[in-house]
Amino acid sequence: MTGNLINGDWRKARLFGPIVGLTLGVLALLILTTAILVHRFDDTASAREQHMFERGFAQQLEELDKVVATQVDWDDAIVMMDHRRDAAWIDFNVGNYLHTFNGFTRSFVVDGDEKVFYASANGERAGLDLYAPFRPIAAQLLPRIRQAEKARPPLVLRPGKDNIVIPPIQGNTVTRIGDQTYIVIATLVQPDFGKALPKGARAPVTITALPIDARLLGIFAQRYQLDDLKLTAPDAKSNGRGNLVLRDLSGRPVASLVWTPRRPSAILSEQLLLPLLLMLGLLGLVAWTMVRRSGIVISDLIASEARAKHLAFHDPLTRLPNRAMLFERLHSLLATVGSDTSRLTVLCVDLDRFKEINDTLGHHAGDLVIEATANRLRTACAGAALIARLGGDEFVVLCSSGCCESAEMLGHRVLEALSRPIQSEYGRLEIGCSIGAVIIDRPGVEPTEALRWADLALYHSKQNGRGRLTFFEPRMDQALQGRRSLETDLRHALANDELFMVYQPQVDLAGNIHAAEALLRWSHPERGEVPPDVFVPLAEETGLILALGEFVMRRVFADTGSWTRLRVAINVSAEQMRSPGFAAAVARLAAEAEIDPSRYEIELTETALLSDEPVTAGNIGALKRLGFTFALDDFGTGYSSLSVLQRFSVDKIKIDRSFVSCLGDGGESEALVDAMVRLAKALHLRVIAEGVESEAQRERLASCGCNEFQGFLTGRPMGLREIVELAHESPGAAEAEIRKSA
Ligand code: C2E
Ligand code: MG
Ligand code: MG
């Protein structure tokens, strides 16, 4: 059960694995793609933002340049700042003006010799020493201004004329003074209309400084929509923030403007989150539904497979394990044998009278018996490792050491359980069983071998009178090997003319021979004479009897076809009668030999008639129609009933020699023989006694009313020539051949 579950789970996992894997894969791909896209989106947006701010900052500087240029580039400025050096005017138009309207906190004016002559702080006039910290940065800016001033076309005084539009000469940079960073702009004072010209070759220059402070940062942030814009030291790590490095004229970093870059992904994520979650949910739902649906399908599949497996490994009637499962289990149990003290007992159980019940009462009764047997075995072998039905009335019980008591006790319990009659709608059914057992206590035994040994032991139980338990012994195997080699020899004998017929006379009251029984003989070059009691049953078991029977018919017809006086009795086995083509084969042989069937009598044993088989009945009917008569051989030893005698309309009964040999012993034999003769007479059947060895036996038989005899007294089985001579018969073709060669 657990194995099934594990197996089922494993197979579910195999099917669900790809579905779940695929779903997770799709999800991962979706998330990854989104992440990459968002990242790229953010990167592009950051780069644009950076670029925009860089340009914006440069523009801002240009604008500041223009603001300053507007204040110092006009004719009045030349007059007031160069000619007169009017500090009040400079206060109003530069220091105070630029502070008030544009936030410049420092303004200075240097003359043509670069000497400062005006200073203002936060819009108020200040001491000239305020210029000291600005001197180094001014020293960088001024040479460039002067160079441009020099390169400028000479200025001409043009009173009354329009604006001459002289391009401003300016320079700007960024510097740090103390803990304040400034945008510093140097602007050459120039005329606009040309009404006044600078005094000397070099005009004054304004140095104005605008601090990059919270106010300015606020303006930048608002204008360029930057979040959290700050001024930091130039080496401060940006950590993914926007960063604009501010450099002085020599390219040295002075400070950094940093801000939190805008992340469109955040907005995008906000917008996408809901649809994405919905999509994921939907995808999950689809996957879950698929998994659930597949789960149901797989569960059904597993269940139906389990049912099919159960059917494949169990017998439908008894629900016991079948042959396939027996072999599987036997294989695994045998693998553990011998590793320690473990042993395995194999019991082969075969019902003794199942066939009779099945034949006489029908298959339903047979099924009842099989079911009852299975139930009794379940109880009797409760601790067994396995109880299996091999088919028909054969069962096998496997018992590991420890799970049952001794093999002998187990076997006897089974014998006892199956010997109790079964009460059924058909009355009390007595079945009984025979058991063959083998105890395996060494490793390396194959299942087929173990079963064969138990089967051999079973065969011995059957041979020795049934209803018993036999344990396998190696000599049984040897006996089997002996039977096998005998079988091989018999096949060889059939093909090599080692078989021949003898004929035993049958006489009447007056001692006249009126018939002969054909008896088969086998003269083996090494074994010598092999009695038919040995090789006929073997031929019946192996199926060789059909070929053997055909040989007998052919030979007997050839030997006796030309006889005119004697009738001939031929022994035919039950197996032959059960063969569907038997009557047709005999008819063909009879036609070939051109014999008269009415001179031939077929001897059948009672067991041949016992099974109410339609084939047997058909064969008998067909042969009777051809003219053959029938005798019931070994009468009294079997189970023939009156109805059988009547149904098959036998012509004659042969009282078995076991009754004859006991005549005169004072036992019941005489009464039995008397009864048999009366019965035969009542049914208008002829009677013959076989095995008559003495005159006394003959006389007693005669006094009972028996008028035909066969036995050593009146003639032993003899060769063809002898019987022909003894009975003054005309020789057959074979006999003629023999005579010729002689
Ligand atoms: P059966 O048909 O009952 O044959 C009679 C047997 O009794 C023969 O044994 C015969 O030799 C033996 N017998 C005859 N008179 C006496 C006697 O006075 N005393 C004793 N002790 N025995 C006597 P056999 O030839 O050994 O045959 C044994 C059995 O083998 C036959 O029994 C028959 O069942 C079978 N058999 C023989 N030939 C054939 C055959 O061609 N076909 C078939 N199917 N069975 C055959
Ligand atoms: Mg006979
Ligand atoms: Mg007989």
Q: Is the CB of 544 under 6 A from ligand 1?
A: no
Residue 325 reports pLDDT greater than 80: yes
Q: Taking residues 690-707, what's their average pLDDT?
A: 95
Element (H, E) at 232: strand 227-232
Residue 22 reports pLDDT greater than 80: no
Q: Quick one: CA dihedral 198, 200, 201, 205, positive or negative?
A: negative
pLDDT digits 0-9 by tens, 573-589: 999 999 999 999 999 99
Cα of 632 from ligand 1 centre, angstroms: 13
Q: Is residue 61 one of the residues assigned to a domain? A: no
Residue 734 is predicted with a pLDDT of 58
Of 365, 459, 470, nearest to 414 (Cα)?
470
Residue 48 is predicted with a pLDDT of 83
Element (H, E) at 696: helix 695-704
Give Cα separations from 29 to 21, 26, 395 (angstroms). 12, 5, 62
Residue 472 is predicted with a pLDDT of 96
Q: Is the CB of 532 under 6 A from ligand 1?
A: yes
Is 572 in the same domain as 659? yes
Q: Taking residues 287-312, what's their average pLDDT?
A: 81
Is 296 in the same domain as 175? no
Give Cα separations from 584 to 299, 371, 426, 611, 623 (angstroms). 58, 40, 38, 21, 8
Residue 162 is predicted with a pLDDT of 63
Distance CA 528, CA 339 (A): 48
Give the residue whose CA is nearest to atom 16 of ligand 1: 691
Q: Is residue 293 one of the residues assigned to a domain? A: yes
Distance CA 516, CA 715 (A): 10
Is 48 in the same domain as 195? no
Q: Three-class SS of residue 562? A: coil
Confidence of residue 6 (pLDDT cuts 50, 70, 90): very low
Q: Taking residues 330-335, what's their average pLDDT?
A: 93
Cα of 180 from ligand 1 centre, angstroms: 141
Distance CA 270, CA 196 (A): 65
- CA-536 nearest atom, ligand 1: 45
Is 293 in the same domain as 335? no
**Mean pLDDT of the chain, nearest integer:** 88
Cα of 523 from ligand 3 centre, angstroms: 21
In a mutational test of the pocket of ligand 1, which residue from 490, 690, 698, 708 has the highest number of ligand atoms less than 8 Å from its CB? 690
Q: Is residue 261 one of the residues assigned to a domain? A: yes
Residue 4 is predicted with a pLDDT of 46
| Among the bound ligands, the one closest to the CA of 519 | 1
Residue 741 is predicted with a pLDDT of 55
The CATH number that applies at residue 118 is 3.30.450
Which residues are paired to 520 by β-bridges?
501
Is 234 in the same domain as 364? no
Give residues with Cβ within 8 angstroms of 295, minimum separation 6.
12, 16
Residue 1 is predicted with a pLDDT of 38
Of 740, 732, 738, 724, nearest to 558 (Cα)?
732
Distance CA 255, CA 245 (A): 6
Residue 5 is predicted with a pLDDT of 44
Residue 12 reports pLDDT greater than 70: no
Residue 187 is predicted with a pLDDT of 95
pLDDT digits 0-9 by tens, 539-581: 998 999 999 999 999 999 999 999 999 999 999 999 999 999 9
Residue 482 reports pLDDT greater than 70: yes
The CATH number that applies at residue 458 is 3.30.70.270
Residue 290 burial class via C-beta count within 10 angstroms: exposed 0-12, middle 13-18, buried 19 and up: middle
Cα of 396 from ligand 3 centre, angstroms: 37
The CATH number that applies at residue 539 is 3.20.20.450
Better-predicted residue by pLDDT, 522 or 613: 522
Report the range of poorest mean pLDDT among 51-60, 521-530, 539-548.
51-60
Q: Which of 420, 448, 472 is the last residue of a domain?
A: 472
Confidence of residue 480 (pLDDT cuts 50, 70, 90): confident
- Check: CB of residue 424 under 8 Å from CB of residue 362: no
Q: Is residue 80 one of the residues assigned to a domain? A: yes
Q: Three-class SS of residue 29? A: helix
Distance CA 711, CA 677 (A): 18
Q: Taking residues 346-351, what's their average pLDDT?
A: 96
Cα of 571 from ligand 2 centre, angstroms: 5
pLDDT digits 0-9 by tens, 187-234: 999 988 888 889 988 999 999 999 999 988 998 888 888 888 889 988
Cα of 418 from ligand 2 centre, angstroms: 36
Is 628 in the same domain as 722? yes
- CA-654 nearest atom, ligand 1: 3
Distance CA 276, CA 388 (A): 62
E strands, 494-546, are 499-508, 513-524, 528-530
Is 466 in the same domain as 492? no
| Among the bound ligands, the one closest to the CA of 635 | 3
Residue 414 reports pLDDT greater than 60: yes
Residue 147 is predicted with a pLDDT of 93
- The CA R_g of the chain, rounded to the nearest whole Å, is 64
pLDDT digits 0-9 by tens, 597-642: 999 999 998 877 776 578 898 999 999 999 999 999 999 887 666 7
Is 487 in the same domain as 461? no
Distance CA 518, CA 499 (A): 13
Q: Is residue 218 one of the residues assigned to a domain? A: no
Please report, in angstroms and rounded to a whole number, the separation of the first and last CA atoms in the chain: 81
Cα of 635 from ligand 3 centre, angstroms: 8
Q: Is the CB of 529 under 6 A from ligand 1?
A: no
Is 563 in the same domain as 691? yes
Q: Three-class SS of residue 530? A: strand
Residue 341 is predicted with a pLDDT of 66
Residue 340 is predicted with a pLDDT of 65
Is 263 in the same domain as 306? yes
Tell me which range, 180-184, 191-195, 665-669, is most confidently predicted by mean pLDDT. 180-184
Q: Which of 311, 336, 352 is the last residue of a domain?
A: 311
Domain carrying residue 523 = 483-741
Q: Taking residues 15-44, what's their average pLDDT?
A: 76
Q: Is residue 161 one of the residues assigned to a domain? A: yes
Distance CA 480, CA 613 (A): 30
Residue type, 417: A
pLDDT digits 0-9 by tens, 241-290: 888 899 988 888 999 988 888 777 777 677 777 887 888 888 878 878 88
Is 617 in the same domain as 695? yes
**Count of domains for the chain:** 4
Is 185 in the same domain as 235? no
Q: Which long-range contacts (CB under 8 A, 24 or more apart) does 20-26 make?
A: 20/287, 20/291, 23/283, 23/284, 23/286, 23/287, 26/283
Q: Taking residues 653-675, what's their average pLDDT?
A: 88
Q: Is the CB of 432 under 6 A from ligand 1?
A: no
Q: Is residue 477 one of the residues assigned to a domain? A: no
Q: Which of 422, 447, 472 is the last residue of a domain?
A: 472
Q: Is residue 592 one of the residues assigned to a domain? A: yes
Residue 279 is predicted with a pLDDT of 82
- Check: CB of residue 206 under 8 Å from CB of residue 189: yes
Q: Taking residues 404-417, what's their average pLDDT?
A: 90
